[in-house]
Amino acid sequence: MGRVAVLDLTGCLTVSSTDVEILPLRTTLSALIAEGHIDVALNLVRVTHIDARCLGEFVFMLTTLRRLGGRLTLVAPSDRVRKVLSVTRLDGLFDRCDCEADLVAQTRSATRRRMDSLGVTAFA
């Protein structure tokens, strides 16, 4: 793994039927791909809950990145998030790291983006 873009996600990740909550994540992924980032990590350490629709978006992201030769890594998912992944049988689909230090050890450099409740605040 080379250069990785890290997205810090926080809060309760739920998506309504209009998908409006997920638009910032989709926009950010598109921007990262346009910048040449095809290795992406989602830092989930501050995520308290995730619903099936948001997991579906993660699967979409994974598929998109894999088609481009990239990867999606879930960093520090909580026990609650791990349980949802297990119940939906998606736990084996994603690469995972127990902490950000493990991710950093695998990478040469990282670009960080913060996403508070899927509202995007970018910083270098």
The pTM (predicted TM-score) of the whole model is 0.80
pLDDT at res. 114:
53
Average pLDDT, integer, range 46-74: 91
Instruction: Tell me which of 1.20.120.420, 3.40.50.2300, 3.30.1360.120, 3.30.750.24 is the CATH number of domain 3-122.
Output: 3.30.750.24
pLDDT of residue 2 exceeding 90: no
**Average pLDDT along the chain:** 80
- 31 residue type, one letter: A
pLDDT of residue 31 exceeding 50: yes
pLDDT at res. 66:
95
What is the rounded distance in angstroms from the CA atom of residue 78 to the CA atom of residue 75? 9
pLDDT of residue 18 exceeding 90: no
Out of 19-23, 85-89, 112-116, pick the least confident. 112-116
Out of 14-18, 37-41, 98-102, pick the least confident. 14-18
pLDDT at res. 42:
92
Residue whose structure tokens are 């990282």: 110
What is the rounded distance in angstroms from the CA atom of residue 59 to the CA atom of residue 102? 22
Average pLDDT, integer, range 19-43: 86
The answer to whether 9 touches 46, Cβ cutoff 8 Å, is yes
Residue whose structure tokens are 């810090």: 8
